Amino acid sequence: DVKVTQSSRYLVKRTGEKVFLECVQDMDHENMFWYRQDPGLGLRLIYFSYDVKMKEKGDIPEGYSVSREKKERFSLILESASTNQTSMYLCASSPSGSKNDNEQFFGPGTRLTVL
Amino acid sequence: LAKTTQPISMDSYEGQEVNITCSHNNIATNDYITWYQQFPSQGPRFIIQGYKTKVTNEVASLFIPADRKSSTLSLPRVSLSDTAVYYCLVVLNFGNEKLTFGTGTRLTIIP
- The CATH number assigned to the domain holding B48 equals 2.60.40.10
Q: A19-37 burial, b for 16+ CB within 10 Å, e for fewer? A: bebbbbbeeebbbbbbbbb
Q: Is B60 within 8 Å of B47 (Cβ atoms)?
A: yes
Domains and CATH numbers, chain A: 4-114 (2.60.40.10)
Pairwise pLDDT comparison (A72 vs B99), residue with the higher score: A72
Residues of chain A whose beta carbon is less than 8 angstroms from a beta carbon of chain B are 4, 33, 35, 40-45, 48, 58-59, 90, 92, 99-109
pLDDT value of position A101: 57
Specify if B95 maps to a domain.
Answer: yes
Q: Is A37 within 8 Å of A43 (Cβ atoms)?
A: yes
Question: Domain range holding B104?
Answer: 9-110
Alpha-carbon separation of residue B92 from A72, A104, B97 (angstroms)? 27, 17, 6
pLDDT value of position B83: 97
Best of B20, B23, B46 to disrupt the A interface (most A CBs within 10 Å) is B46
Q: Which long-range contacts (CB under 8 A, 24 or more apart) does B108-111 make?
A: B108/B9, B108/B10, B108/B11, B108/B12, B108/B83, B109/B11, B109/B12, B109/B13, B109/B14, B109/B78, B109/B79, B109/B80, B109/B81, B109/B82, B109/B83, B110/B11, B110/B12, B110/B13, B110/B14, B111/B13, B111/B14, B111/B80
pLDDT value of position B1: 47
- The reply to whether residue B98 touches residue A58, judged by beta carbons under 8 angstroms, is yes
pLDDT value of position A102: 74
pLDDT value of position B37: 97
Specify if B80 maps to a domain.
Answer: yes
Specify if B3 maps to a domain.
Answer: no
Phi, psi torsion values for B37, nearest 5 degrees: -120, 135
* pLDDT tens per residue, range B27-82: 877 788 999 999 998 999 999 999 889 999 999 999 999 999 999 999 999 999 99
Q: What is the mean pLDDT of each run of 10 residues along chain A (115 residues)?
A: 88 97 94 92 90 90 96 96 97 72 87 97
Structural domains counted in chain B: 1
Phi, psi torsion values for B14, nearest 5 degrees: -55, 145
Average pLDDT over residues B90-100: 74
Specify if B1 maps to a domain.
Answer: no
